[in-house]
Chains A and B, each alone.
Chain A
Amino acid sequence: MDLLEYQGKQLFATHGVPTTEGRHAATVDDAVAAAEEIGYPCVVKAQVRIGKRGKAGGIKIAADSDEARAHSEAILGMDIRGFTVNDLWIEAASDIANEYYASIILDRSEKKLLVLLSRMGGMDVEEIADKDPNAMVRRHIEPGAELDLDLGRELAHQAGIDDDVVDGVAEMLNGLAKVAVAEDATLIEINPLVVTGDRKVIALDAKITIDGNSMFRHPELAELSDSSADDPQEAMAKERGLTYVKLGGNVGILGNGAGLCMSTLDVVAQAGGKPANFLDAGGGSKAEAIVDALEVITSDPNVTAVLFNIFGGITRCDEVAKGIIEASSEIDLKVPLVVRLDGTNSEAGLALLAESGLQNLHNETTMLGAAARVVDLANP
């Protein structure tokens, strides 16, 4: 789960990591009120889960209340590479002397936390690497070890950080490592990490990803995630506890198991179709779950046909067939449904479907056959 900048900064504040103070606003009036409270010059920042907001016009400095209003009006509702701006963060403009880069990443290859530090901030990691491959210091935290102040200072020296702020940067790295562990973050990136005119080290930005599996021990973060789904189908699926990802095509897809579902999207694309979504119905799919899933898939107005790809292992195909029949009686299905049932009790499942006399239902026994069929039906 990706936090917005202001959520990340609020998290930093609770752990004593130096960052900018500000106010969140979701309307223009709130933003102007926040600016008045903070004073001028202040910065109006778009809160979206994508980088390079500044270049897209999502970060503006306001010298007075009129400018704060004008900038807020311009930025709220703006589209930044597919992300709509629904939230603003207003903070006092910082007096910036240096811009550095710092991040802590969970490196899944090495199975260790990885610290990155550079004195070339304000551009992304790839740009830094292009400009000067030696400008990025990389260090893994060994199992059982900590990113303590000594290691922080060593990394700061190595990165060529100004001598007078080496301690400040070491404290920042130490603080970030603590946040990563305490909050189950898999990524914390601060770009830029700035040194102010009075030589204080502060996090001017905050990009934080929290491990979704850890939400049971972070109820306050779990609440934040509820407001994050922009897409209506994704929000609906989340409410029902289904794993759904919108893909934008017209072939609705349900599979059991994440791997088989991904594979189903691929074979539909190979057959010339455009998948509308990923939806993993999970193991032991019962009738109720099938009804829920079908409702979510068909609520997407782009969907013109639906493919159910089930390979029954623990899941029994006759149970899935019952679910489909029940769903059909509860939902007015306006699009054709291609059902491929294979594996445990598939004959019984197919027999149930045949007996049901459901209209607009097409049985297939192979995955590739089902993909070809649904693509035909989706694009008459």
Chain B
Amino acid sequence: MSIIVNSDTKLVVSGLTGREGTFHGLRNRDYGTDLVAGVTPGKGGQDVDGVPVFDTIAESVSEAGANTSMVFVPARFAAAAIDEAIDSGVHTVIAITEGIPVHDMLKTYWKAREAGVRLIGPNCPGVLSPGEANVGIIPAQFFDPGPIGVVSKSGTLTYQIGNELKQAGAGNSSIVGIGGDPIVGSDFIDILTLFEEDPATELIVMVGEIGGDAEERAADFIAERISKPVVGYIAGFTAPPGKQMGHAGAIISGSSGTAQAKKDALEAKGVRVGTSPTEAAQIAVEVLNG
């Protein structure tokens, strides 16, 4: 078992005909994901390595049975592509694109919520359920099937932790990159809820970073609603206030959003927080085998 993507996933990729879209879309298919369609307006009727291309996402739903959309289109068109996916009839939209204006996401976030469509990202590496499906750019070779669910704001940091878990002999149910933007479709709380309900997940690793208060709110939520053990890691202890650290959302505003505040909030609710990715992975394995 797993969350969000699995063997029932029928994937349509917006931007499949672009360079990145082709590369990652076909990589996802090679992993075993059921890639049923691509979408590029004006290129309907073509195919990418045998995958049919449609003009609209709605057509890919009615013609090819797509139920999950991955958005790979450039930032200035991406919010419109996510909006189109929300209206198309798919139940899940995974937006990889980095650099979408936050005012666009303000509208798109509520559109997804009102439609009851699960939106992951933007500015995220996607979702991988080892052995079942991979939707996005997560390098699957660092992850084996297993009982640890991972939810993270960061891509490479997740690969780092995943690799350490694998070396320690532990695998994953699903790895969910929620994205590093100020407004993302699904927060830690949404994904923690799914892992709590997933029978294959025995422990959850939550990887946060500076900016916003999603980690602090997750800490309260864990105390109230999550029965499974959660291990945390937070990046950005050395980040100065007012500076954006790569991700659009990774910024300390005044005195709020610091790594220390997030670590303190999690520890106050009994969540063990590793001081390095290595230690976080060690704690996770220790708790799991405990």
Contact = CB atoms under 8 A, between A and B. Distances in A.
B182 A143 contact: no
Contacts of A275: 238
Nearest to A249: B238
Interface residues of A, number: 49
B109 interface: yes
A137 to B, nearest CB: 20
B110 A257 contact: no
Contacts of B103: 106, 180-181, 184, 211, 214
A256 B156 contact: yes
Interface string A267-296: 111100001001010010000000000000
Is the interface on chain B under 10, 10 to 19, 20 to 34, or 35 or more residues? Answer: 35 or more
B10 interface: no
A106 B102 contact: yes
B137 interface: yes
Contacts of A245: 239-240, 243-245
B235 interface: yes
A217 B77 CA distance: 12
Contact of A108 (B238, B245, B249): B249
A221 interface: no
B213 interface: yes
B110 A144 contact: yes
A151 interface: no
Contacts of B107: 143
Given A214-B103, A313-B155, A366-B278, A262 B246 contact: yes
Which of B159, B180, B182, B276 has the largest count of A CB atoms less than 10 A from its CB?
B159
Contact of B139 (A111, A112, A255, A314): A314
A313 B101 contact: no
B275 interface: yes
B240 A262 contact: no
B154 interface: yes
B44 interface: no
Nearest to B243: A245
B101 A111 contact: no
B1 to A, nearest CB: 25
Nearest to B158: A259
Interface in A240-261: 243, 245, 247, 255-261
B26 interface: no
A213 B257 CA distance: 20
A163 B248 CA distance: 41
Contacts of B213: 109
List the 8 shortest-distance A-B pairs measured between CB atoms, nearest first. A259-B154, A258-B246, A257-B156, A259-B157, A143-B110, A313-B139, A214-B101, A260-B156
Given A257-B157, A259-B155, A343-B142, 5 more contacts: A111-B106, A243-B246, A245-B244, A265-B237, A311-B160
